[in-house]
Homo-oligomer: A and B are copies of this chain.
């Protein structure tokens, strides 16, 4: 298997882009990544997207975007794994380059979510859960996560206020990220007083939706000697794992087994351990998910993920910097695009381009993207050389 490098990255600001179409948002990120990579053509396009059939009435997004950006007669395809669609598209492109089938690929994660009313979005997001055994019973996607959080608080004795540091850190970091959806600091008092969404998840536990796209150009690492003085960034580890779609089918609903499995394989492939990870862009769709991810990936004991936040270990100067560009919570969560935002942000950290939230000397970064309530989880580890 050939080693693969990230040659260029691009992203749009996450927002309510009522003035821009699905085409334009994805195209913007694609062109930015190609410009950053210094290429005018790529051999294939892999698009990660979850909701365009439901929200925009548009399928076949691979060809939809290759058409828009002028890549006719190149291979193009869409990959979908709910909120993990972005990372799943990266992995599909990675396999094609690693196999030697193509010598360059553009990966675009894209989502246009604000063209429908809120209740339509809630219904669309519920397609990530089990339609027959969860959604049919009336539970929404945030409802499922609320059940998990409530159980976690019951099992380990944490109070809701103990989760505040995850959201406070995310909001503080997002202020330095021009592409982030939210640019306001929050404090513990605001966190506790925020409007309830689904007990115990309130508005400041939950990530905002939005329109956005993030993209990367990948090539065989052997073709990249140096990048105009920037470090060469390789995809050192890539793995995907799954658990049951429905939470009630899991042996332990408080253990993200697919995060554990995919991180384990990615660590092995990259020949690193948790202590070697300088920055970890995790999938904080809800604050409870930050705690569970940290635990499953070996950064905290079971039930103790919350403590990392309380001990100030998760900020850019801490032992385990997470959500350094705002995370899903404050950078925003345009679902099918999120996995590619995470990868783009890890690349920014490894390049040293994160003024205000730069992790000093970051050489190894990890991005973890979760589909459903822990059903599909992909982990990528990137290294600067």
Segment of A5-13, A64-72, A221-229, A286-294 in the binding face: A64-72
Cα of A135 to Cα of B52 in the assembled complex, Å: 14
Interface status of A354 (Cβ within 8 A of chain B): no
The 6 closest A-B pairs by CB, nearest first: A99-B99, A59-B127, A60-B82, A75-B240, A98-B99, A95-B95
Besides the contacts A62-B376, A77-B240, A77-B376, what 11 more A-B pairs have beta carbons closer than 8 Å? A58-B132, A59-B80, A60-B127, A60-B376, A63-B243, A67-B242, A67-B249, A72-B257, A77-B80, A78-B80, A79-B92
Cα of A88 to Cα of B78 in the assembled complex, Å: 9
Interface status of A241 (Cβ within 8 A of chain B): yes
Contact residues in B for A249 (Cβ distance below 8 Å): 67
- Known interface pairs A82-B59, A95-B99, A95-B101; A245-B77 also in contact (CB < 8 Å): no
Point out the residue from B59, B72, B242 that lies within 8 Å of A75, measured CB to CB. B242
Contact residues in B for A76 (Cβ distance below 8 Å): 81, 240, 242, 376
Which partner residue on chain B sits nearest A240 by CB separation?
B75
Counted per complex, copies of this chain come to: 2
Cα of A123 to Cα of B53 in the assembled complex, Å: 11
- Known interface pairs A67-B244, A95-B95, A98-B99; A131-B75 also in contact (CB < 8 Å): no
Cα of A2 to Cα of B21 in the assembled complex, Å: 41
Name the distance in Å between A270's Cβ and chain B's nearest Cβ.
14
- Known interface pairs A57-B126, A81-B62, A98-B101; A261-B73 also in contact (CB < 8 Å): yes
- Known interface pairs A99-B99, A241-B75; A135-B376 also in contact (CB < 8 Å): no
Is A244 within 8 A of B72, CB to CB?
yes
Interface status of A194 (Cβ within 8 A of chain B): no
**Residues of A194-221 contacting chain B, CB below 8 A:** none
Point out the residue from B21, B23, B73, B376 that lies within 8 Å of A243, measured CB to CB. B73
Name the distance in Å between A248's Cβ and chain B's nearest Cβ.
12
Mark interface residues in A351-385 (1 if CB within 8 Å of B CB, else 0): 00000000000000000000110011000000000
Name the distance in Å between A93's Cβ and chain B's nearest Cβ.
9
Is A132 within 8 A of B23, CB to CB?
yes
Cα of A89 to Cα of B79 in the assembled complex, Å: 9
Interface size class of A (residues with CB under 8 A): 35 or more
Is B245 within 8 A of A63, CB to CB?
yes
Is B245 within 8 A of A67, CB to CB?
yes
Contact residues in B for A54 (Cβ distance below 8 Å): 53-54
Interface status of A56 (Cβ within 8 A of chain B): yes
9 A-B contacts (beta carbon < 8 Å): A1-B99, A1-B100, A1-B101, A59-B82, A60-B375, A60-B376, A74-B241, A79-B80, A95-B99
Is B245 within 8 A of A64, CB to CB?
yes
Which partner residue on chain B sits nearest A61 by CB separation?
B80
Contact residues in B for A57 (Cβ distance below 8 Å): 123, 126-127, 131, 135
Interface status of A128 (Cβ within 8 A of chain B): yes
Is B101 within 8 A of A81, CB to CB?
no
